[in-house]
């Protein structure tokens, strides 16, 4: 029994299905920064924030001059002239030209100020300076591999910051156990059609097993880890179903639930103070899969002959030499019919006149199949 060669790769298919669930996890990093530019180098169409006025007339390149009394609460301004306006009453630290403030009121008097944020219409001139945001948001597809936590953490500690491949995910199948709560009658058979119409295939009921997986998330920054974990958790409440093609040749597909168990977080660094840290999230999962027994193939039985014999006068039974007292023969009609075609079972019953002739019967009865 145990010598039969067969391999349905049930566990391997579950491993692949598990990895596919987490194959599209992304992490975003904000790489924006602030750059200072002097008048004369502005680019038309770009948005700038005034830092210093200097000798630059910003009204010529897109900024708006506002007179006190018309300020908009919450808008950022740069004082140009103080006049009779007390800017300290509307959010400024003082009333000196060049002071940047966010208006807390509409103001009063005849002082003027520029809108601090403007879209440039030209390169500008003079000594004024502005700032603008640079960079962009980087989207990282987080790779996943079959690897143990212990080995990868050891490699992270030894690698330099330049060579460290984080964020990334690693997983392993940590164990499996039979699930008796899903166990059915193990003597039930699953039957399948065969490429040869005169052949049939069958296997016993598959055995339910729980496959335990551990998924580790390795990151340098807590923000990266939170992004990754928050893309996973909403789908497990606590189950997430994935379709697994368990035996493609037999077209056996099954929804396999993946259950999220525990979640742990470790945040540590190795070596001297100031060395790089290692943030590791560990998520435990259980897949409720199946292990399939070997597939058996054999010829389809289309002709059955049953002979009934009695023992001789001495009470001994000799199957070969005892006469046939009664016989029943059942055949598929037509004999070349396949399982999906129309066919009947022809039953021939009787006491033969010539026991050695299997076709010699007293009566013939044809029974339609399936029975109604």
Distance separating alpha carbons of residues 96 and 89, to the nearest angstrom: 13
Query: Distances in Å between the alpha carbon of 190 and those of 171, 180, 184, 200, 311?
Result: 34, 20, 13, 11, 40
pLDDT category at 289 given cuts 50, 70, 90 is very high
Ramachandran angles phi, psi of 218, nearest 5°: -110, 125
Beta strands 137-141; 26-30: pairing state: antiparallel
Distance separating alpha carbons of residues 347 and 334, to the nearest angstrom: 13
**Burial class of 32 by CB neighbour count within 10 A (0 to 12, 13 to 18, 19+):** exposed
pLDDT one-digit tens code per residue, 232-272: 999 998 899 999 988 877 788 889 999 999 899 987 655 55
Is residue 253 within a helix (H) or strand (E), and if so which, with residue range? strand 252-269
> For every residue of 254-320, which 3-state class applies, written as one string?
EEEEEEEEEEEEEEEECCCCCCCEEEEEEEEEEEEEEECCCCEEEECCCEEEEEEECCCCCCCCCCC
DSSP 8-state class, residue 100: E
pLDDT one-digit tens code per residue, 81-97: 999 999 999 999 999 99
Query: Is residue 367's pLDDT more than 80?
Result: no
For position 285, what pLDDT does the model report? 96
pLDDT one-digit tens code per residue, 259-270: 999 899 987 655
Over residues 108-115, the mean pLDDT reads 94
pLDDT category at 138 given cuts 50, 70, 90 is confident
Contact between 213 and 242 (Cβ < 8 Å): no
Higher pLDDT, 115 or 197: 115
Query: Is residue 220's pLDDT more than 60?
Result: yes
For position 358, what pLDDT does the model report? 58
Query: Is residue 194's pLDDT more than 70?
Result: no
For position 64, what pLDDT does the model report? 94
Distance separating alpha carbons of residues 25 and 161, to the nearest angstrom: 23
Query: Is residue 14's pLDDT more than 60?
Result: yes
State which fold the 10-29+140-296 domain adopts: STM4215-like (3.30.2000)
Query: Is residue 196's pLDDT more than 90?
Result: no
């Amino acid at each position: 029994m145990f010598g039969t060669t067969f391999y349905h790769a049930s566990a391997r298919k579950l491993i692949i299905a598990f990895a596919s669930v987490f194959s599209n996890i992304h992490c975003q990093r904000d790489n924006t920064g602030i750059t200072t530019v002097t008048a004369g180098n502005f680019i038309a169409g770009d948005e700038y924030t005034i830092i210093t006025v200097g000798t630059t007339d910003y009204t010529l390149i897109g900024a708006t001059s506002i007179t006190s009394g018309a300020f908009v609460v919450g808008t950022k301004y740069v004082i140009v002239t103080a006049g009779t306006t007390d800017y300290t009453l509307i959010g400024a630290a003082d009333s000196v030209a060049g002071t940047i403030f966010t208006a807390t009121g509409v103001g009063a008097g005849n002082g003027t100020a520029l809108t601090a944020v403007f879209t440039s219409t030209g390169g500008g001139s003079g000594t004024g300076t502005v700032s603008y945001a640079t960079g962009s948001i980087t989207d990282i597809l987080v790779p996943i591999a079959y690897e143990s936590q212990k080995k990868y953490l050891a490699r992270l500690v030894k690698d330099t910051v330049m060579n460290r491949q984080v964020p990334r995910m690693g997983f392993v199948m940590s164990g499996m156990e039979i699930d008796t709560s899903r166990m059915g009658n193990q003597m039930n058979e699953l039957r399948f059609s065969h490429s040869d119409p005169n052949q049939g295939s069958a296997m016993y009921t598959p055995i339910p097993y729980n496959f335990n997986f551990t998924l580790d998330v390795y990151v340098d920054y807590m923000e990266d880890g939170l992004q990754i974990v928050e893309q996973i958790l909403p789908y497990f409440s606590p189950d997430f179903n994935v379709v697994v093609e368990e035996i493609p040749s037999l077209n056996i597909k099954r929804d396999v639930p993946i259950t999220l168990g525990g979640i742990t977080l470790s945040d540590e660094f190795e070596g001297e103070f100031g060395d790089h840290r290692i943030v590791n999230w560990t998520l435990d999962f259980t897949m409720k899969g199946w292990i399939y027994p070997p597939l058996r193939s054999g010829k389809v039985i289309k002709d059955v002959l049953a002979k009934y014999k009695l023992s001789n006068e001495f009470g001994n039974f000799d199957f070969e030499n005892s006469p046939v007292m009664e016989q029943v023969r059942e055949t598929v009609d037509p004999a070349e019919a396949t399982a999906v075609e129309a066919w009947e079972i022809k039953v021939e019953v009787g006491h033969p006149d010539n026991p050695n002739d299997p076709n010699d019967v007293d009566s013939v009865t044809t029974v339609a199949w399936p029975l109604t």
